[in-house]
């Protein structure tokens, strides 16, 4: 079981940098942020942009892998996103994992004038975007005409350091998105849940893999556990649940902090490695 850490980019930059550096020094194999423009609950919460802060993380973190868990498909043209991801892959020396999901935060879409289609359409956008992104990463030029995106002799040079491309992590919990994960993902991640719900979704991914003629064991299984260091009992409960997730077949647990943990708590988590 792999254990990695994530901090919401809703704190002053020096706080974020200190978290990234400490997590790297403590030996966590990966460090993450997320992709939002507003606070998740209170829209006025100051929030750093995910991909520019990820580029900074790729410089600060010298050993661990880095990634955005997850990128909202609606926020950027997939060809531009493919180019951004390659840039971070090069900045990190080939240590970037690429996370993507269907997006959900309607308020930031409305505020920024970004279309917010119904859920089924957003799922279809992820499917099509991943087809485009993989082609951009692996083909010399890309011509693509789809339902949502059109490319004409599109180039993405240089190619990623990681070949054939960086690992793709799809965030999903519902059947349609699990089907997308079965088609495209190297890893599946489900956000904060309980072990039995996670196990049910993992079973749904097995079924989706069967429908796609994909070996279910070829997709690593992961979960995000939300931790609130200001609530020690909540943290204890989440950390105690790791054993059950592991028993149910979870291979990667992302400890997602919603307040900056102190060094003592991070060390405690690192001991679970």
**Domains in the chain: ranges and CATH:** 2-271 (3.20.20.30)
Q: What average pLDDT does this structure show over 173-200?
A: 95
How confident is the model at residue 80, as a pLDDT?
Answer: 98
How confident is the model at residue 75, as a pLDDT?
Answer: 97
Nearest to 65 by CA among 192, 162, 182, 189: 162
How confident is the model at residue 18, as a pLDDT?
Answer: 98
Residue 152: pLDDT band (50, 70, 90) is: very high
Q: CA–CA distance from 268 to each of 93, 202, 262 (Å)?
A: 29, 28, 10
How confident is the model at residue 201, as a pLDDT?
Answer: 97
In 3-state terms, what secondary structure has residue 142?
Answer: strand
User: What contacts 242, CB < 8 A, 6 or more positions away?
Assistant: 1, 3, 225, 253, 272
Q: What average pLDDT does this structure show over 54-82?
A: 97
User: What contacts 28, CB < 8 A, 6 or more positions away?
Assistant: 3, 4, 5, 64, 269, 270, 273
Whether the upstream peptide bond of residue 59 has omega within 30° of 0, thus cis, is: no
Residue 106: pLDDT band (50, 70, 90) is: very high
Nearest to 49 by CA among 38, 40, 61, 65: 38
How confident is the model at residue 65, as a pLDDT?
Answer: 98
pLDDT tens per residue, range 161-184: 999 999 999 999 999 999 999 999
Whether the upstream peptide bond of residue 158 has omega within 30° of 0, thus cis, is: yes
Number of C-beta neighbours around residue 235 at 10 A = 21
How confident is the model at residue 273, as a pLDDT?
Answer: 84
Q: What average pLDDT does this structure show over 109-114?
A: 95
pLDDT tens per residue, range 203-244: 999 999 999 999 999 999 999 999 999 999 999 999 999 999
């Amino acid at each position: 079981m792999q254990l990695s850490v994530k901090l919401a980019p809703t704190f002053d930059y020096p706080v974020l940098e200190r978290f990234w550096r400490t997590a790297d020094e403590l030996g966590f194999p990966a460090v993450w942020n997320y992709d939002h423009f507003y606070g998740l609950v209170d829209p006025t919460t100051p929030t750093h942009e995910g991909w520019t802060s990820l580029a900074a993380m790729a410089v600060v973190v010298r050993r661990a892998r880095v990634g955005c868990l997850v990128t909202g498909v609606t926020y950027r043209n997939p060809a531009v996103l493919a180019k951004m991801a390659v840039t971070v892959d090069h900045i990190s020396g080939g240590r970037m994992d690429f996370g993507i999901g269907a997006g959900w935060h309607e308020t930031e879409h409305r505020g920024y004038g970004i279309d917010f289609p119904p859920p089924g359409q957003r799922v279809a956008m992820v499917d099509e975007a991943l087809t485009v992104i993989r082609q951009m990463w692996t083909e010399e030029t890309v011509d693509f005409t789809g339902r949502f995106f059109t490319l004409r002799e599109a180039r993405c040079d240089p190619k990623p350091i990681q070949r054939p491309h960086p690992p793709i992590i799809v965030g999903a919990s519902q059947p349609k998105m699990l089907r997308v994960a079965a088609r495209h993902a190297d890893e599946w991640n489900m956000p904060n849940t309980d072990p039995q719900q996670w196990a049910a979704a993992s079973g749904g991914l097995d079924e989706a893999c069967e429908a796609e003629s994909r070996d279910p064991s070829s997709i690593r299984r992961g979960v995000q556990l939300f931790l609130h260091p200001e609530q020690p009992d909540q943290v204890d409960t989440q950390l105690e649940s790791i054993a059950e997730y592991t028993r149910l077949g979870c291979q990667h647990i992302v400890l997602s902090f919603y307040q900056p943990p102190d060094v003592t708590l991070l060390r405690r988590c690192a001991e679970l490695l």
